[in-house]
Amino acid sequence: MSYLITDYVHQFVTSHIQNGSICVDATAGNGNDTVFLCEHAGMDGKVFAFDIQEAAIENTKKRVKESGYQNAEIIFDSHVNMKKYLEEKSVDCILFNFGYLPGGNHAIATKASTSIEAIKEGLDCLKKDGIMGLCIYSGKDSGFEEKEAILNYLKQIDSKKYLVLVTEYYNRVNHPPIPAFIIRLK
């Protein structure tokens, strides 16, 4: 059993995805989340994966090809534009794994303002009972601004429309990552 933030988020969202699901990897990176979503969305489903770095797009295309999935569309565009590709209330699961590309350029990282804009776009795209999983980092190269801004925004989301869960690695030191989830209630 792995308690890494990415594995924990995968375990939590799995029950919301089935064959035929529409899913979004909002930060494709090296393609780990894309491949996870491809597996669970199945032959009848579809995964839209976004990134703004060519290296990430190439790495994700390679991962998906090597894994043998044909249900992914890998898009070289910012996640703030996801509504150009997706209909409102059509998506079962959206994953955000913030920060920089592991093994890549740490200077090209997600930013508070665009991350929050993209979360808002994503919330419009979620269908009822759809889920958004967020891996939020801070400290080191990530700094604290994005984490604080995202947590502040999550607190303000309309509780009649969405359930927001923010979890913690409570007894860990040195700014542990924060797994969070948003579920559309209606």
Which range touches ligand SAM (CB under 6 A), out of 8-16, 40-48, 104-112, 141-149? 104-112
Task: Provide the token pair at 2.
Answer: 């792995």
Q: Which residue is nearest to ligand SAM (CB)?
A: 29
Count, residues near ligand SAM per rule CB under 6 A: 22
- Assess 67 for contact with ligand SAM (CB under 6 A): no
Which range touches ligand SAM (CB under 6 A), out of 11-19, 37-45, 64-72, 96-104? 96-104
Nearer to ligand SAM, 112 or 157 (CB): 112
- Assess 56 for contact with ligand SAM (CB under 6 A): yes
Minimum CB–partner distance for residue 138 and ligand SAM (Å): 13
What is the rounded distance in angstroms from the CA atom of residue 111 to the CA atom of residue 96? Answer: 12
What is the rounded distance in angstroms from the CA atom of residue 186 to the CA atom of residue 170? Answer: 31
- Assess 110 for contact with ligand SAM (CB under 6 A): yes
The number of beta carbons lying within 10 Å of the beta carbon of residue 7 is: 14
What is the rounded distance in angstroms from the CA atom of residue 99 to the CA atom of residue 51? Answer: 12
Minimum CB–partner distance for residue 30 and ligand SAM (Å): 4
Nearer to ligand SAM, 69 or 100 (CB): 100
Nearer to ligand SAM, 84 or 160 (CB): 84
Torsion of CA 22, 26, 27, 29, to 10 degrees: 30
Q: Which residues, 143 to 182, sit near ligand SAM by CB under 6 A?
A: none
Ramachandran angles phi, psi of 52, nearest 5°: -105, 5
- The stretches of the chain forming alpha helices (DSSP H) are 5-13, 32-41, 54-67, 112-125, 145-155
**Length reported for the chain:** 186
The phi-psi region of residue 113 (left if phi > 0; otherwise alpha if psi is between -120 and 50; otherwise beta) is alpha
Q: Which of 21, 32, 71, 142 binds ligand SAM (CB under 6 A)?
A: 32
Residues of the shown chain interacting with ligand SAM in the complex, contacts defined by CB under 6 A: 27-33, 50-53, 56, 78-79, 97, 99-101, 108-110, 114
